[in-house]
Amino acid sequence: MKAKRVLGIGLLTAGLLLSALTGAASAAEGVWIGPDKLAAQDRTTLVQAIGSARSQNPAAFETLARLREDMPALDAQKRGRYVPVAAILKRLGKDVLLPVLNELAVDAKPRGDMSADAWHAWRVGLVEAAGTLRDGRAAPVLFAILDAPEENPDLVRAAASALGKLGTDAAAQKLVALAKKEGPKQKGVLAGMGDCRRLVVAEALASTLAARPDAETAIVVARSLGDVGSAWAWQTPIIAASGEEEAVRSTAARALVASYLRYEGEARAAITKAVLIVDHPSTPALVEQAKRGARPGDQAALDALLERFKNSPLHR
């Protein structure tokens, strides 16, 4: 009888301990989302991968933890507005991916007394770092982050950019769908999706600019068209591997030249800069075509654009 009571107490204690541990795990949160925001299979796969990585390479997790602890000091010493977290993490190499994903979506320390700027830099930098590594294991986390209720334009832009850098069909389709939804997240998505250098993204951005949005939105879209069609970026083998360079860059060039006369001031300046970044060889012909139906004053403006293009540093 006594043995049974001891066994019963032991089982009860074990059950309570397991329950407590389960509760602690379910209460864990990343700096962007909690693990409950991931699909069950994705969550299991990620948690197992993090556990394995922590056992095999604890130094990577310790390094990230030290950086997190150093954020207040780094914030106090920063030269720009924010601590360049992504640049710091990039130097740590690919081993930082799973520690970063753990911090983003599984188990991170709360903000505590970190300043608003330091916390913002930490959250943005982590998601930017995940994108820079271009590792498909980050996809479920990045998809879930974009589905979260976060509305801060900088944070949404960073998440859209990070997902876009994966360059997959699914990433491109997700960004295009989000860009079509009016609301507080739309502009952040438009600002970040240019890092997804796929034709469907270029076409979506071109359609958005063709719809003649307000000047502020036009600036955002023009910059993203410059990103998606960037002549420099397309020299990178991992981006060129899609085989869509010509289609993407020509789409961006057409959209930018077609919108040039519709805007003035900062919007026109942004469009001009994007034309120079895309640097597509069809640009002179596109400008000449636009001049044929333009008024004399507008023809002069187009001549100025063509002169800027011909004298671009990329042509020296």
Give the C-alpha separation, 8 to 184, whole Å: 56
189 falls within a domain: no
Same domain, 138 and 24: yes
Same domain, 143 and 230: no
Single residue among 148, 180, 211 that ends a domain in this structure: 148
171 falls within a domain: no
Taking CA atoms, 134 is separated from 164, 167, 169, in Å, by: 9, 8, 14
Same domain, 144 and 201: no
Single residue among 148, 168, 189 that ends a domain in this structure: 148
42 falls within a domain: yes
User: 216 lies in which domain range?
Assistant: 197-316
11 falls within a domain: no
Same domain, 301 and 207: yes
Can you tell me the mean pLDDT for 155-177?
98
Torsion angle defined by CA atoms of residues 89, 56, 159 and 108, in that order, rounded to the nearest 10 degrees: -90
Same domain, 121 and 202: no
Indicate yes or no: pTM above 0.85.
Answer: yes
- Contact between 98 and 50 under an 8 Å Cβ cutoff? The reply is yes
For the ranges 25-39, 106-120, 265-279, which has the lowest average pLDDT?
25-39
DSSP letter for each residue of 69-117? HHHHHHHHH-SSSS--HHHHHHTT-GGGHHHHHHHHHT-----TT--HH
185 falls within a domain: no
The tokens for 176 are 């295009």
Same domain, 302 and 239: yes
Same domain, 31 and 96: yes
Q: Is the pLDDT of residue 137 over 80?
A: yes
103 falls within a domain: yes
165 falls within a domain: no
- Contact between 122 and 85 under an 8 Å Cβ cutoff? The reply is yes
The band of 303, judged by pLDDT with boundaries at 50, 70 and 90, is very high
Same domain, 140 and 235: no
Q: Is the pLDDT of residue 27 over 60?
A: no
Give the C-alpha separation, 269 to 3, whole Å: 84
pLDDT at 28: 76
Name which of 271, 273, 186 is nearest 222 in CA terms: 271
* Domain count across the chain: 2
Return the percentage of the chain with pLDDT > 90, whole number.
Answer: 85
Q: Is the pLDDT of residue 18 over 80?
A: no
Same domain, 124 and 47: yes
Can you tell me the mean pLDDT for 277-299?
94
Single residue among 148, 179, 214 that ends a domain in this structure: 148
212 falls within a domain: yes
Same domain, 207 and 316: yes
Same domain, 204 and 125: no
Phi, psi for 8 (deg, rounded to 5) = -65, -45
The band of 313, judged by pLDDT with boundaries at 50, 70 and 90, is confident
All residues at 6 or more sequence positions from 102 whose CB lies less than 8 Å from its CB, including other chains? 30, 50, 61, 108
